[in-house]
Amino acid sequence: MNILAIGDLVGNSGIKKLKSCLNEIREKENIKFTIVNAENSAEGMGITSQNFNDILALNVDCITMGNHTWGKKDIFKFIDNPKLIRPANYVEGVVGKGYNVFNALNKKIAVINLIGRVSMNVLSENPFKTANKIIKKCNEMGVDMIFVDFHAEATAEKIAMGYYLDGKVTAVFGTHTHVQTADEKILPKGTAYITDIGMTGPKHSVIGMDIEVSIKRFETTLPERYKIATGEAMLNGVVFNVNDDTNKVESIKRIMMT
């Protein structure tokens, strides 16, 4: 069974690129379940009702979020949709779900969304302890596979999470930095891991943002307003090939389409 995870959608450019490429990827890679990170889909910050509906129209199975979850007030209109999950380690009592269990080809597939605490400027609970609590619940429900979208800045925190969950979950993949890493691997106890699956949005950009504006911010330190870059888009993601008998990942394949 092949599971597809798509890196952070950046603006309408990212959504359009996903729309143009998704069927091709599904057919070529025999994809049976799709996870998409969409916390930047509303022109770089948050998600709107229109963005959400556009993504749902592509028959995506699960939409994950991150530090810009609350970037657009629209999200409160559809926060309870079962296909949408936000970081599970937001403070207790926050609306929405941090994980959900889905059914595909007679398999119970759990997807957990977590947010890092290093250089993220988001008030959150311990993602490591939160993960353990959810995994315990998933095991009690007889879940077959568990996928973790760890939305975090620090490479070290992501790597540590991978080893921490090794043998406990099917795969840990990082989002947020928008740069696809070439460190995909199967960890010693069988969990698949990659530090960041990249982004889906403007190719010639600074992690999706306009190049000139980004350089000006770094050059002058003035608070220049960010804007989404224009032009050709790219799509980043990964395909996890899961053995149907063991529910373990046998291989990971990075996807980059321009």
In angstroms, what CA-CA distances link 213 with 217, 241, 247? 6, 40, 46
Contact 116, 130 (CB under 8 A): no
Residue type, 78: F
One DSSP character per residue, the chain reads -EEEEE-EEBHHHHHHHHHHHHHHHHHHHTEEEEEEE-TBTTTTSS--HHHHHHHHTTT-SEEE--TTTTSSGGGGGTTT-TTEE--TTBPTT-SS-SEEEEEETTEEEEEEEEE--SS----B--HHHHHHHHHHHHHHTT-SEEEEEEE-S-HHHHHHHHHHTTTTSSEEEEESS----S--EE-TTS-EEES---EEEESSSBTTB-HHHHHHHHHH---PPP-B--S-EEEEEEEEEE-TTT--EEEEEEEEE-
One DSSP character per residue, 133-160 reads HHHHHHHHTT-SEEEEEEE-S-HHHHHH
Is 68 catalytic? The answer is: yes
Which sequence positions are flagged as catalytic? 68
